[in-house]
Structure formats: C-alpha cells, structure tokens
A = this chain, B = another copy of it.
Amino acid sequence: MSPSAPRRVTIVDVARHAQVSTTTVSKVLRNAYGASPTARAKVQQAIAELGYRPSAAARGMRGQTYTIGVVLPDIRNPFFPEILDGVTERLRDTDYHVLLGPGGCEGEQAEAEVTDAMIDRGMDGLILVAPMAPRSRLDKVAGIVPTVVIGRHGHSAVYDTVVDDDITGARLVVDHLAGLGHSRIAHIEHHETDSARLAEMPNAIRAQGYRQAMRAHGLEADIVSTSYTQQGGYDGAKQLLARTNRPTAIFAGADIVAMGVLQAVAEAGLTVPGDISVAGYDNTTFAALGPISLTSVDQAGRQIGSNAARLLLDRIADRHTPSAQIKLSPTLIARSTTAPPPQ
C-alpha cells in the first residue's frame, strides 16, 4: 500500500463521475425525496464504482452521524452483551451503527466522561445501561441528545426507559426458595449510598422486592450489603456463613455475585445445593455452564436492548414524542444450585 493514505473519495467525486450535482448525490445517500430513478441509479453505480463512503465527521457537522452510542457500566458482566445483541439486531437494517463506551465501572466520574465523549462525537442517540448518574444529569444529557435509559426505574419527561420488573424478579426467587422449604433466605445486595438513586436503581428495587416477598411469606429479611461484583458476592457470603445460625439459601442480586458466593461456599467446605442453595439474577451465559448450572432470573436482555433501540429510533425521528416507559417481565430459570434445605 502507499505509505500516505490516498485522498478519500468524496461526494464531489461521485457527483462528477455520475454526471449529477452533489445535491442529488446527497439525496440518494439519505433516501431523501427529490431524485429521479435515473439519477438515483447513476449515483448508486458511481458510489459502487468509486467505493465511496460518506465521512461521518462531515455529516456530523450538519447534524447526523448515523451513530448510536451505548454506555455499559461493566463490560465484564455477561448480562450486558445480551442487551447489546438486542440493540444491534434492531439496528441491523438501518443506516445506524453502534459504538460502545468502555464503561470501566469506575464510578460516576468515568461514566460522565464517557457520556460526554459520546456527545462530543456527535452521537445521534444514546442508550445508557444502568447508569449511576443522578437524575439531574440524565435529564441534562437527554436534553442534548435523544436518550434511552435502561434499568433505571422512575419516569422522566425527556428520556425513555426500559426496565425489567425487578420486584417480580426478586419475588420469583423468594417464592421458589420458600416453595422448596427454605425459611432462612438471605440476600446480597449492591450497597446504595445515594438516597436519590435508592428509588431508581435495579439493585435497590430487587432488595425491596426481596423484602416484600419475604414479608408475604411471613419470613424475616436478612440482607448483606456489598456490591454487584464477584468479590462482593464472596465477601457477602463469608459474612453470612460465619453466622451461628447461617442461612440455608442465598439470593445473590446478580449472577456475578453468585459466582463469588459459590466460591466462598466451596472454600467453607459446604456443598451446593446440599448444604446451601444459591440463586442469581440475570441468567447470564455462565449461569448455564454445566459445572455451574445456576438458578437465576432471566431478564430477556435481547428484548430489553431491542426495545431500547426502537424507542431511540422513534425519538431520533421526532424529539418531541412523549416519553415512554417499558417494563418487561422476568422469568425464573431453576437449575441445580437450588434444592430443599438440609434436614
């Protein structure tokens, strides 16, 4: 290849090659009204022959970049790829492309930087997955660029939301475990410091659903607050297992947390589900792995993603669409980490 890149093919080259004006080329590119079939065909051919590709930067200066930004909180959580699949699938036959922010789960600050970077880069729309930003910040972002927020309960006039019914999800787990005969069912939650987020974050809602369900069964809630990470699950389980009257079942707020729990249980010389039952949340790919086979709550990540993408496209098409909230129902996938408690 030549050492210095050859000049990019531009719309002008295409116009000249097709013997039409740049306006016509632009119209063809955007499927806009006002180009004759003949002109359209000539342009298509010129584009193919020259291998023309529109510059997103130039387009961005006039408004659209045909790019959707997705901000994930933590690439390691295997639940998020599911959402992403739903998004890309829904966007497949459109002119839009998806770009991901590296998330990095390094807190609000990092999340804000990534979001800003995406705005600076002219994203046509943003999908924020379980963001930790405060409401005011979300409203501000949504005021700048069409936004769909996944996983935050609570309504907004400026952005759409897609959430899983975490109250129901938590209840499914408690019902399942109680149905197996457990009464000492503990829950490991992600510790929430911010009181404003308390009402919106999925982790908080799950804990709330757990409490409600335990009460409904006449059982006493037992919550350990750590974080939605493997380490958090490990630490939480250590605490629970050290109790004199330890629980017979642990409901981890996320599969990744359950992984840490399983590890702590194994280290304690206990067996699952013989000595203790463990359930997760998210039904991630590794929940299904043979040697793990974790009972979990399935959130239908693909559908979450595909709904979010759909809402976003609507909002991009018309920014004044009234905001929508979609709530999806989870299902329980019982596998082999849950069983009746030991006698």
- By a beta-carbon cutoff of 8 Å, the part of chain A in contact with chain B is 1-5, 53-61, 65, 67, 70, 75-76, 78, 80-81, 84-85, 88, 97-102, 104, 113-114, 116-122, 139-140, 142-145, 158, 230, 259-260, 262-267, 272, 285-286, 289-292, 319-320
Contact in complex: B265, A290 (CB < 8 Å)? yes
- Contacts A5-B144, A55-B120, A75-B84 known; list 18 others, CB within 8 Å: A3-B319, A55-B61, A56-B122, A57-B60, A57-B61, A78-B78, A85-B104, A97-B121, A99-B100, A99-B101, A99-B121, A100-B100, A121-B121, A259-B289, A260-B290, A262-B291, A266-B291, A286-B289
Within the complex, which residue of B230, B266, B319 is in contact with A4, where a contact is CB–CB below 8 Å? Answer: B319
Which 6 A-B pairs have CB atoms at the shortest separation, nearest pair first?
A263-B290, A57-B60, A1-B143, A100-B100, A266-B290, A56-B121
Shortest CB–CB separation between residue A145 and chain B, in angstroms?
A: 8
Within the complex, which residue of B53, B85, B286 is in contact with A116, where a contact is CB–CB below 8 Å? Answer: B53
Residues of B within 8 A of A55 (CB): 60-61, 120, 122
19 pairs, A vs B, C-beta closer than 8 Å: A2-B143, A3-B319, A4-B319, A53-B120, A55-B122, A56-B60, A56-B121, A57-B57, A61-B61, A70-B102, A75-B75, A75-B84, A76-B81, A84-B102, A97-B114, A99-B117, A99-B118, A230-B285, A286-B286
Shortest CB–CB separation between residue A51 and chain B, in angstroms?
A: 10
Within the complex, which residue of B5, B81, B113, B262 is in contact with A289, where a contact is CB–CB below 8 Å? Answer: B262
Smallest CB-CB separation from A117: which chain B residue? Answer: B97
Residues of B within 8 A of A4 (CB): 319
Contact in complex: B266, A121 (CB < 8 Å)? no
Residues of B within 8 A of A265 (CB): 290
Bound Cα distance A102, B86 (Å): 12
Shortest CB–CB separation between residue A216 and chain B, in angstroms?
A: 31
Shortest CB–CB separation between residue A196 and chain B, in angstroms?
A: 18
Bound Cα distance A65, B65 (Å): 14
